[in-house]
């Protein structure tokens, strides 16, 4: 029987190029500037007024905290990570406040210091003698979110902040290579741009056998983004989390879809997409049920969402498992599908076959295999 063709996912909702405006959250990176520029995948909740008090207690801080993430996803943050180095790849220079913001976060939640002085934190630039500030001033918020999520999941991990000189794909791709060359054992990419032949031409920069490369799927609803579409990359979608009941559903703005350019990898067996399907796994992403982040640029303690959460969280779960040297792609996740909680509700658009944009209680495009139940799947 001939396999049914999947409805092509749009590149990104054209009304705002991957970041539809809502009354509930502010997309940090706004609209896509041009076809060669990436967007960060972070949104700030508008329901929580920024709390500027750097000395605020955990009880005063809004948003999901490390202990809640650990409980929800069944991992022990103190159970591993020594000897692991998670790199977060960002655009522009975010170093002005980053170290201070990171340690406000770690102090609030008792995670211990992580500084350049104690060797826990390293900041590297695409061009060592050229650190360019973000002209719009938003990427420092993304960098804060990334390093704080690594800290929440794997406080014993070292962190590399690898800073591209700008937000052109060519720069981010080169910076992924830099992160690996500088010793990263896992790499997180909390940014994306629409899938295209021009983007896929950079695919080799995101294939580093023995180093898990993780990317968020995008924050524009049903659509395929790069580099999450690559077979060598672990693609992470976003959920809406009810922390009171611990129930999760597909976040309506998470990316997912059927690639038009990347062949079906051997580890995937869904029948409604002849090519690569995104996503592989999912983690909370809805900013209305988002995570606590301390960012001077954002005004202090804020609640953040986006698939920017999932990329560093999943990269850090690989670090806790310490199996990265045997990881070349998402094969191990599918081999341990029972180590994930399947998502049974929620949708991020309209499509055919429906599972590419709607949760089914089994594998689906937006939720992938589901959310982690500990680190057994990694």
Asked whether residue 234 is domain-assigned, the answer is: yes
* pLDDT reported for residue 32: 79
- CB of 277 closer than 8 Å to CB of 270: yes
What CATH number should be reported for the domain holding residue 208? 3.40.50.200
Asked whether residue 18 is domain-assigned, the answer is: no
Asked whether residue 240 is domain-assigned, the answer is: yes
Maximum CA extent, the chain: 63
Q: What is the pLDDT of residues 22-33, one digit of tens each?
A: 468 999 998 778
Which secondary-structure segment (H or E) carries 341?
A: strand 340-341
Asked whether residue 1 is domain-assigned, the answer is: no
Asked whether residue 15 is domain-assigned, the answer is: no
Q: What is the pLDDT of residues 128-146, one digit of tens each?
A: 877 788 988 999 999 999 9
Asked whether residue 285 is domain-assigned, the answer is: yes
* pLDDT reported for residue 1: 33
Domain count, the chain: 1
* pLDDT reported for residue 299: 97
Asked whether residue 360 is domain-assigned, the answer is: yes
Asked whether residue 215 is domain-assigned, the answer is: yes
* 100, burial (CB in 10 Å: exposed 0-12, middle 13-18, buried 19+): middle
Q: What is the pLDDT of residues 64-76, one digit of tens each?
A: 999 999 999 999 9
- pLDDT of residue 198 exceeding 80, the answer is yes
C-alpha to C-alpha distance for 357 and 359, rounded to whole angstroms: 7
DSSP sequence for 197-225 = HHHHTTGGGG--TTS-EEEE--SSSBB-E
Q: What is the mean predicted confidence (pLDDT) over 218-234?
A: 97
* pLDDT reported for residue 4: 41
Tokens of 210: 């023995």
Domain carrying residue 292: 25-372
- CB of 350 closer than 8 Å to CB of 222: yes
> Where does the pLDDT of residue 12 fall: very low under 50, low under 70, confident under 90, or very high at 90 and above?
very low
- pLDDT of residue 154 exceeding 70, the answer is yes
Kindly report which listed range (13-27, 48-62, 96-110, 290-304) carries the lowest average pLDDT score: 13-27
- CB of 280 closer than 8 Å to CB of 111: no
* pLDDT reported for residue 172: 98
- pLDDT of residue 9 exceeding 50, the answer is no
H runs (alpha helix) in the chain: 66-73, 95-108, 139-153, 169-181, 197-200, 310-321, 331-335
């Amino acid at each position: 029987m001939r396999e049914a063709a999947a409805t092509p996912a749009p590149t990104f909702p054209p009304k705002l190029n991957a970041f539809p405006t809502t009354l509930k959250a502010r997309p940090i990176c706004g609209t896509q500037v041009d076809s060669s520029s990436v967007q960060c995948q972070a949104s700030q909740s508008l329901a929580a007024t920024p709390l500027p008090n750097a000395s605020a207690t955990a009880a005063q801080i809004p948003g999901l905290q490390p202990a809640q993430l650990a409980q929800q996803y069944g991992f022990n943050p103190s159970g591993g990570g020594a000897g692991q180095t998670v790199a977060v790849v960002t655009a522009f220079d975010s170093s002005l406040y980053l170290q201070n913001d990171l340690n406000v976060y770690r102090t609030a939640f008792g995670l211990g210091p992580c500084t350049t002085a104690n060797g826990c934190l390293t900041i590297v630039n695409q061009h060592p003698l050229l650190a360019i500030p973000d002209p719009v001033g938003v990427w420092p918020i993304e960098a804060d979110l990334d390093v704080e999520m690594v800290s929440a999941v794997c406080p014993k991990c070292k962190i590399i902040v690898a800073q591209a000189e700008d937000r052109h794909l060519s720069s981010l791709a080169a910076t992924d290579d830099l992160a690996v060359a500088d010793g990263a054992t896992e790499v997180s990419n909390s940014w994306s741009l629409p899938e295209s032949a021009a983007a896929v031409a950079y695919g080799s920069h995101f294939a580093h056998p023995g180093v898990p490369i993780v990317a968020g799927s995008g924050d524009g609803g049903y659509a395929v983004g790069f580099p999450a579409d690559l077979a060598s990359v672990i693609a992470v979608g976003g959920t809406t989390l009810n922390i009171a009941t611990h129930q999760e559903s597909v976040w309506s703005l998470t990316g997912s879809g059927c690639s038009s350019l990347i062949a079906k990898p051997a580890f995937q067996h869904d029948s409604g997409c002849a090519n690569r399907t995104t996503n592989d796994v999912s983690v909370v992403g809805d900013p209305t049920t988002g995570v606590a982040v301390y960012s001077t640029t954002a005004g202090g303690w804020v609640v953040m969402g986006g698939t920017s959460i999932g990329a560093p969280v999943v990269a850090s779960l690989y670090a806790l498992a310490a199996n990265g040297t045997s990881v070349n792609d998402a094969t191990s996740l599918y081999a341990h599908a029972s180590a994930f909680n399947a998502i049974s509700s929620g949708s991020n658009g309209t499509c055919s076959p429906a599972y590419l944009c709607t949760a089914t209680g089994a594998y689906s495009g937006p939720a992938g295999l589901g959310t982690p139940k500990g680190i057994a799947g990694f």
